[in-house]
A and B are shown apart, each in its own frame.
Chain A
Amino acid sequence: MRAEQGSTHIAATPSAIAERALAAAFPTVQQLIGEASFTQLARVFWHRQPPRCGDLARYGETLTDWIADDPRLAPEPYLSDVARVDWAVHTIEHAADVIQHRRACNCSPNSIHRS
């Protein structure tokens, strides 16, 4: 009984991981096509283009082209562009902080507090 549960859990894991990773990166796409369709999309995408890097936050960049090429999603041609926006937001949220050049930008932290 337990072993059976364990094996089903493992079998379900890749697609669950795929869905969670891709849903984190493409929330708008998920809302647009619905959770059920998104699960299916994530599963197929995971099998066809598995992640090459252990960091799942970097997984999914090619999903935008995948969506553009998928004939089943052709009725919503804006989807791949929305996916691009989602991906840009996702990567930018994780991008390294930009160190500000004080000299180039004449505002010290103090002056911000005062204003």
Chain B
Amino acid sequence: MLRLRPALALVVSRWPVATIWQAHRSDAADRFAPVRQAFANDVAETALVARPQWHATVSAIDEATLRFMAALQRRGRARPCARRLRVPSSSSKPGCTTPCASNGCRRWRRWPRHCSEGCDDFAGSKYAQSSRTRAARIEALQPVALLAARLYVAKVFLLSGLTKVRDWDTTLALFMDEYHVPVLPPELAAWLGTGAELLLPILLVLGLGGRISAIGLFVLNAVAVLSLGDVAEAALQQHVFWGSLLIGLLLWGPGRFSVDVWRSAARAQRAA
């Protein structure tokens, strides 16, 4: 049984199934005569079940139409199939097509995307599977991207911290005169800021307490912007970029390549 859900299905059979179904819906006096004849001739039928208007209809389709629909199922292009069968086509994109339901319209239309919603068969179909594998391949890059973000942000803050340590007197002077850290006294702010800039990047690179170091650096980054008073537009953009990366790391965690994940995996293994 081929399926072109939701409003089209093909039932391939070696029996005259369409004729049987139609006979049971008929009011004619000798309604089973066609069935008897079909059985006598050993007719095999492929039933096309569709809902062109209000109710579903069942009709037998010929070999060529079946092959056309099977080609569509295999994600072939509608136009070459249609050209072979001389059916008008308005769609050259791959995907399901179905005859237009409107009266007098002989064109073919694309299968709309919303068909997939709530349709169990679609979830298991090869279209859904292929898009799932594509998505999985892209998602496999997530830990790499998270590691890259960690390395980049850590480098920025660690270099800044190292600069501060290298010339401690200048750093203290800058905290006294240039940076106006809110609430904290300048000397404490210098110690805290430098300490955080040295410690948190290392934790972030290791992925040890990844989320905590991410939010710590985010706060540091925000305080740095607040303390500077008038920040150049280019510098502000850099702070926004670092802040965005850190928010991302806070929300998604440090990723697979981190001590956090390694430790929780080891703990789970020990528990098992």
Give bound CA distance, A31 to B5, whole Å: 27
- Tell me, yes or no, whether B117 is within 8 Å of chain A by CB: yes
Give bound CA distance, A93 to B6, whole Å: 9
What string of 1s and 0s marks CB contacts (under 8 Å) between B108-125 and chain A?
A: 111110110111000000
Q: Do B24 and A100 have beta carbons less than 8 Å apart?
A: no
Which bracket fits the contact residues of A? 20 to 34
User: What does DSSP make chain A's interface, helix, strand, loop or mixed?
Assistant: helix
Q: Do A85 and B49 have beta carbons less than 8 Å apart?
A: yes
- Inside 8 A of B119's CB, which chain A residues have their CB? 95
| Nearest Cβ on chain B to A54's Cβ, whole angstroms | 15
A78 and B20 in contact, given A92-B49, A96-B114 (Cβ under 8 angstroms): yes
CB < 8 Å: which of B9, B20, B111, B115 contacts A88? Answer: B9
- Inside 8 A of A28's CB, which chain B residues have their CB? 20-21, 24
Give bound CA distance, A110 to B98, whole Å: 22
Q: Do A106 and B105 have beta carbons less than 8 Å apart?
A: yes
Interface residues of A in 14-71 (CB under 8 A from B): 27-28, 31-32
Interface size on B, residues (CB 8 A): 43
- Tell me, yes or no, whether B134 is within 8 Å of chain A by CB: no
| Nearest Cβ on chain B to A25's Cβ, whole angstroms | 12
- Tell me, yes or no, whether B56 is within 8 Å of chain A by CB: yes
Q: Name the CB-closest residue of A to B121.
A: A91
- Inside 8 A of A85's CB, which chain B residues have their CB? 11, 13, 17-18, 20-21, 47, 49, 58
Q: Do B7 and A84 have beta carbons less than 8 Å apart?
A: no
- Inside 8 A of A88's CB, which chain B residues have their CB? 1, 9, 11, 47, 49, 56
CB < 8 Å: which of B9, B11, B51, B102 contacts A107? Answer: B102
Give bound CA distance, A112 to B14, whole Å: 39
- Inside 8 A of B111's CB, which chain A residues have their CB? 98
A101 and B20 in contact, given A92-B8, A107-B100 (Cβ under 8 angstroms): no
A77 and B15 in contact, given A100-B109, A105-B100 (Cβ under 8 angstroms): yes
Interface residues of B in 236-266 (CB under 8 A from A): none
Give bound CA distance, A96 to B8, whole Å: 12
A95 and B5 in contact, given A85-B17, A89-B49 (Cβ under 8 angstroms): yes
| Besides A85-B13, A112-B102, 10 other A-B contacts (C-beta < 8 A) | A28-B21, A32-B24, A77-B15, A92-B56, A96-B117, A96-B118, A98-B115, A100-B109, A106-B90, A115-B104
Could you list 9 A-B pairs, sorted by A, with CB under 8 Å?
A78-B17, A81-B17, A84-B13, A85-B47, A92-B7, A93-B51, A96-B6, A98-B115, A104-B90
